[in-house]
Each structure stands twice: as structure tokens, then as C-alpha cells.
Amino acid sequence: MLEARSIDFAWSASGPKVLDDVSLTAAPGEVLGIRGPSGTGKTTLARILGGFLRPIRGEVRLDGAPLPATGVSPVQVLFQHAETAVNPRWKVGRILAEGWRPDDATLQRFGIEPDWHGRYPHELSGGELQRVAIVRALGPATRVLIADEMTAMHDAISQARLWHAMLEVIRARKLAIIAISHDAALLHAIDARIMTLNKGCLK
Ligand SMILES: Nc1ncnc2c1ncn2[C@@H]1O[C@H](COP(=O)(O)OP(=O)(O)OP(=O)(O)O)[C@@H](O)[C@H]1O
């Protein structure tokens, strides 16, 4: 169970709070959807849940313990622009193997072509690179996935295919997923329990 307790966040000591007393839980196998207007702190919350940013108050716990400070994190964050999350100087094969050795079934499920392994990230499309980032995030230590506008740049058919593959993995492995999206129809389609972040408050 991932739990965020009473999270406050501001970008500077004198600045306004971006997140104000935000609490949530995501249980194994659960699909939690977070929506909200632009600029209300959804990506900031994703970064805090993934351990990339420290809140000014509150805490994030996995099964009652703080997230590990080193090693491959059990909470993996997938951002909208996968190119910001990979080393541009590494070939795809090395990127995929960063946290684990993906099995053939997973590579096939997400349509990773064998010849991509020898290419650099800029030699894939944005959607293809996103699939590489997804597979990289699905290592055996992963317990929670945070998908921040993960399929926003995909067309409707590839978005549906990708979510279908993702939900199969989540159900089979009882992972929790937090799907952050502007797209209410998408959150309904993946049968998410939906919370709304507005003016720093999550309800
Ligand atoms: N590095 C930063 N330094 C200062 N302010 C920032 C920084 N990153 C984001 N912000 C501000 O924090 C607030 C929340 O941004 P965030 O990206 O979390 O919103 P969001 O809900 O994800 O928006 P969107 O739906 O448009 O992606 C915004 O006012 C933004 O300008």
C-alpha cells in the first residue's frame, strides 16, 4: 500500500503552497485516477510520490516504511515526455536493461521491436520511446506505477492498446497504478477511482 499523508509543498519558503494537506492511498491492484485543472500540482505530486521531490510537510510511505533512498525504486514514475526520462547517449537496449532484464513476453506485450535495441532514443518516435520507458519501469521490484499523462501524445487506438497491456500487467502482478490525466473519459475507461486536485487540495 502506497500512502501519502498530509503533504504540503511550496517551491520557495515565501511562495504559495502548491499542495496543501494532500493525502491518498493506493492499494495493490488498485487503479487510482487523479485529474484536475492545469497547473494545480499534479506533476509536482507525482514527483513527490516517486521520491524525486521532498515535501515541506507530510510523508510518503510504502507498506508503512519510507521509500528506499538508494537502488531501483519500487515506485516508478512515467512522465508524458519519455525523452526527458532516458539518457540520450544510451542505446535502447541499455536503457531497457537499466533496472532489470525484461523478458520476451513483456517486450512483445508492449511491442518493443528487436532492432530498437541498437538505436538511440532520438531514433524512436515519442510513443515508441514511451513504451520503452514503460517496460523499463516494470521490473520485479516495482510495486507502484505513477503514470503522468502517460499516453497523452498517442492517438486513440494506440492509447487504448497501451492501457489494455498496462492493465493486464497491473492485474497479474497486483501493482497499484496512479493515473494522472486531464482526460476524464480515459480515467473512466480504465475504471479508475477518481480524485480531483484543485487549488492544491485533493478530494
Ligand atoms: N521547478 C519549478 N519551479 C517553480 N515552480 C514550478 C516548478 N515546476 C512547476 N512549478 C509550478 O508549480 C505549479 C504546479 O505545477 P505542476 O506541473 O505540478 O501542475 P500540473 O497540475 O501537473 O499542470 P499540467 O496539468 O499543466 O501539467 C504551477 O504553478 C507551476 O508553474
Task: Please work out whether the CB of residue 39 comes within 6 Å of at least one atom of ligand 1.
Answer: yes
Tell me the ipTM for this assembly: 0.97
- Atom 14 (ligand 1): residue with closest C-alpha? 41
The ligand 1 atom nearest the CA atom of 80:
27
Count of domains forming the chain: 1
Ligand 1 centroid from CA 45, angstroms: 10
Q: pLDDT value at position 200? A: 85
- Atom 30 (ligand 1): residue with closest C-alpha? 39
Average pLDDT for 137-164: 92
Which residue range is the domain that position 132 belongs to? Answer: 2-202
CATH number for 82 = 3.40.50.300
What distance in Å separates the CA atoms of residue 65 and residue 68, rounded to the nearest whole number?
8
Ligand 1 centroid from CA 145, angstroms: 20
- Atom 17 (ligand 1): residue with closest C-alpha? 43
pLDDT digits over 52-65, tens only? 999 999 999 999 99
Task: Please work out whether the CB of residue 18 comes within 6 Å of at least one atom of ligand 1.
Answer: yes
- pLDDT of 196 above 90: yes
- pTM for the predicted model, two decimal places: 0.94
pLDDT digits over 18-38, tens only? 999 999 999 999 999 999 999
Ligand 1 centroid from CA 40, angstroms: 7
